[in-house]
Amino acid sequence: MSIDLNSLSAKELESLISQAKKRKTTLSKRKPIAAVRKKLTQLAKAEGYDIAELFGNGASAPSGRAKAAKPAVARKARKPLGKVAPKYRNPANTGETWTGRGKQPRWLAAYTGNGRKLDEFLIK
């Protein structure tokens, strides 16, 4: 964040200084993150919880206090897609290719954005 101090009036500068001092005071009163994290961990352990159980997914509940996770809905196992030969090549850098799957690479998007056709980059 950068503020152009030369463009501010005396009144605006005083307001900015006042806000900065208030923020600095607020930050200086806070305890370090490590101390707060340690305190929370100790409190969770004392109550029989784990931090991951409280703030994470909560699926594993060794103490039995958390709600049981809902059973996963059975899905068809997807067949992993195999490797595909590249279909498009960058004429400026022949090492850059694209299979036609997924998002277009930046080099191809730049060319097509300038009015060139996708067919121009096909590997013959």
Per-residue three-class SS string for 64-119? CCCCCCCCCCCCCCCCCCCCCCCCEECCCCCCCEECCCCCCCHHHHHHHHCCCCHH
**10-residue block means of pLDDT along the chain (124 residues)?**
86 94 92 89 90 70 50 70 90 93 93 92 91
What whole-number percentage of the chain has pLDDT above 90? 47
Domain-by-domain residue ranges, the chain?
9-55, 88-121
Q: Give residue 75's identity as a one-letter amino acid code.
A: R
| H/E element, 20 | helix 10-29
pTM listed for this prediction? 0.37
pLDDT at res. 105: 95
In this predicted model, what pLDDT tens digit does every residue of 61-87 receive, in sequence order? 444 454 555 566 666 777 777 888 999
